[in-house]
């Protein structure tokens, strides 16, 4: 299918696991907008509010002043974007991406686009150091530096300050871009940058900066990450070395574009697409790569333990449940611990001890293991207040922690384990962002 030609094509999805509303067959409707690198089509379907975005084999720079055909770019861009967006959806971020349809196109929630480019930077380079004379290339921003640019090719996308953006009161679909919505998009931009930075770090590649766009979903009026994130959207430096850059900056830097240059660019774009496929596969495997082992003193504590398990599962942490009493089956408790410790040499593990009345379990396993232990005693009506001391007051030399809420125990254990896995780190980060947004909206 070529951009602009718009033949009616039947797309059928073959993925039976996906949400039904996203999965029904559709036919291609009319083209409703065409940009430099993509064409967007209406689709005819029972479920409204979606569109088809088709990539083109075009690379541009300087707001379109420089433009080349790059054979294969549409496929590489689609694959890169799909890997990134699926990853972000999996972390719990709201994006317009629904699913890939074929090698050059994907199904998306149809948005009214907010005409702002949101830029996040970890390292100062490029236009930033030209605009901020005196700041050396390589200066690190912590937290990432945010900038906003109004999308206006003719005027070379002027930078807008926070104040200009507020005063513009941009109208997009049914919403007006208020200071609160700007705060939310800023928060989302930083979070998206941080999780992508973590993902790239797993391949020893530094994410230097990134630009993204938001849209307002026409069906729900939600603000979502829209457009695409592909190799044109960021600077990435393998090993943090600028000379090894693999992104569109290589093209921007070319004075004249030779066939050899185009070949080199294509190799870079292919490398990036392959790396992202590998990163997203590794993230899927990450789902079982760290573990919380919940030891309960009695099977009566199962309901409490299942709440801990649910909290872990949501964050991508494997959770195993064990029953053993440190008082009544001490030898079995130590055997169970020895097995968990052995497995922990392959799978980083946090222990959670669930024991009511007199909690011997947590302190005993803590005193016999180097693994971190969190006590999470089940609530008890009768002696609850006094029982807690058996978890809090420890023999000298011990260091187990105590959390009363099963969700809190799951969160704390996952935070300890997050250092080993970008998946858990990212899900926690996105959850924190979502709390922040929910509280702001509630206010």
Establish how many alpha carbons lie within 13 A of residue 379's alpha carbon, considering only the half-sphere containing its beta carbon.
Answer: 7
- Taking the least distance from each CB to ligand ATP, the nearer of 39 and 190 is 39
- Taking the least distance from each CB to ligand ATP, the nearer of 99 and 357 is 99
- Taking the least distance from each CB to ligand ATP, the nearer of 96 and 437 is 96
Q: In angstroms, what is the minimal distance from the CB of 350 to ligand ATP?
A: 40
Which range binds ligand ATP by CB under 6 A, 11-19, 81-89, 106-114, 238-246? Answer: 106-114
- Taking the least distance from each CB to ligand ATP, the nearer of 233 and 375 is 233
Residue 40 lies near ligand ATP (rule: CB under 6 A): yes
Query: Within 371-410, which residues bind ligand ATP (CB under 6 A)?
Result: none
Which range binds ligand ATP by CB under 6 A, 109-117, 174-182, 248-256, 406-414? Answer: 109-117
Which range binds ligand ATP by CB under 6 A, 35-43, 75-83, 284-292, 353-361? Answer: 35-43
Residues 6+ apart with CB under 8 A from 292: 308, 309, 312, 317, 318, 319, 320, 349, 350, 351, 352, 410, 413, 414, 417
CA neighbor of 210 nearest in space, from 225, 194, 193: 193
Contact criterion met (CB below 8 Å) for 102 and 113:
no
Number of residues that bind ligand ATP (CB under 6 A): 19
Binds ligand ATP by CB under 6 A, chosen from 53, 84, 196, 409: 53
Q: Characterize the bridge pairing of strands 105-109 and 50-55.
A: antiparallel
Q: In angstroms, what is the minimal distance from the CB of 227 to ligand ATP?
A: 4
CA neighbor of 235 nearest in space, from 120, 355, 372, 144: 120
Binds ligand ATP by CB under 6 A, chosen from 83, 93, 96, 114: 96
Binds ligand ATP by CB under 6 A, chosen from 111, 212, 326, 409: 111
Binds ligand ATP by CB under 6 A, chosen from 93, 108, 400, 430: 108
**Contact letters for ligand ATP, residues 194-233 (x by CB under 6 A):** ---------------------x----------xx------
Query: Within 14-33, which residues bind ligand ATP (CB under 6 A)?
Result: 33
Which range binds ligand ATP by CB under 6 A, 110-118, 140-148, 247-255, 405-413? Answer: 110-118
Q: How far apart are CA 441 and CA 148, in angstroms?
A: 22
Binds ligand ATP by CB under 6 A, chosen from 28, 43, 51, 177: 51
- Taking the least distance from each CB to ligand ATP, the nearer of 38 and 122 is 38
- Taking the least distance from each CB to ligand ATP, the nearer of 73 and 246 is 73
Q: In angstroms, what is the minimal distance from the CB of 240 to ligand ATP?
A: 29
**Contact letters for ligand ATP, residues 114-153 (x by CB under 6 A):** -------------------------------------x-x
- Would you tell me which residues interact with ligand ATP (CB under 6 A)? 33, 35-38, 40, 51, 53, 96, 108-111, 113, 151, 153, 215, 226-227
């Amino acid at each position: 299918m070529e951009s602009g030609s718009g033949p009616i094509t039947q797309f059928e999805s073959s993925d039976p696991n996906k949400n039904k509303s996203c999965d029904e067959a559709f036919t291609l409707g009319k083209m409703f907008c065409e940009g430099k690198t993509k064409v967007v089509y209406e689709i005819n379907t029972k479920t409204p509010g979606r569109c088809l975005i088709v990539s083109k084999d075009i690379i541009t720079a300087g707001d379109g002043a420089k433009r080349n055909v790059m054979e294969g770019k549409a496929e590489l861009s689609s694959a890169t974007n799909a890997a990134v967006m699926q990853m972000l959806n999996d972390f719990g971020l709201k994006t317009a991406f629904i699913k890939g349809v074929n090698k050059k196109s994907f199904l998306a929630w149809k948005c009214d686009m907010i005409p702002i480019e949101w830029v996040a930077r970890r390292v100062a380079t490029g236009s930033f150091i030209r605009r901020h004379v005196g700041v050396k290339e390589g200066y690190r921003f912590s937290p990432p530096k945010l900038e906003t640019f109004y999308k206006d090719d003719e005027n070379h996308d002027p930078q807008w300050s926070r104040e200009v953006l507020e005063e513009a009161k941009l109208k997009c679909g049914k919403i007006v871009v208020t200071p609160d919505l700007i705060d939310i998009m800023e928060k989302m931009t930083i979070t998206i940058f941080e999780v992508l930075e973590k993902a790239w770090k797993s391949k020893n590649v530094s994410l230097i900066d990134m630009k993204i766009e938001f849209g307002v979903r026409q069906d729900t009026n939600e603000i979502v990450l829209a457009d695409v994130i592909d190799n044109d959207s960021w600077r990435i430096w393998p090993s943090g070395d600028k000379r090894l850059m693999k992104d569109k900056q290589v093209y921007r830097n070319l004075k004249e574009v030779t066939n050899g240059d185009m070949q080199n660019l294509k190799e870079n774009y292919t490398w990036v697409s392959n790396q992202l496929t590998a990163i997203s596969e590794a993230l899927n495997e990450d789902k079982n790569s760290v573990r919380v082992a919940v030891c309960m003193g009695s099977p009566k504590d199962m309901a409490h333990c299942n709440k801990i398990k649910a909290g872990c599962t949501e964050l991508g942490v494997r959770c195993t449940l064990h029953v053993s009493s440190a008082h009544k089956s001490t030898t079995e408790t130590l055997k169970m611990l020895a097995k968990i410790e052995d497995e922990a040499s392959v799978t980083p593990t946090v222990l959670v001890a669930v024991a009511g009345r007199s909690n011997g379990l947590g302190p005993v396993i803590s005193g016999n293991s180097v693994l971190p232990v969190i006590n999470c005693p089940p609530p008890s009506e009768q002696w609850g207040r006094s029982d807690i001391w058996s978890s809090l007051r420890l023999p000298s030399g011990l260091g187990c922690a105590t959390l009363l809420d099963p969700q809190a125990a799951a969160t704390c254990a996952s935070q300890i384990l997050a250092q080993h896995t970008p998946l858990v780190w990212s899900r926690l980060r996105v959850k924190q962002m979502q709390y922040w947004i929910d509280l702001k909206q509630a206010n």
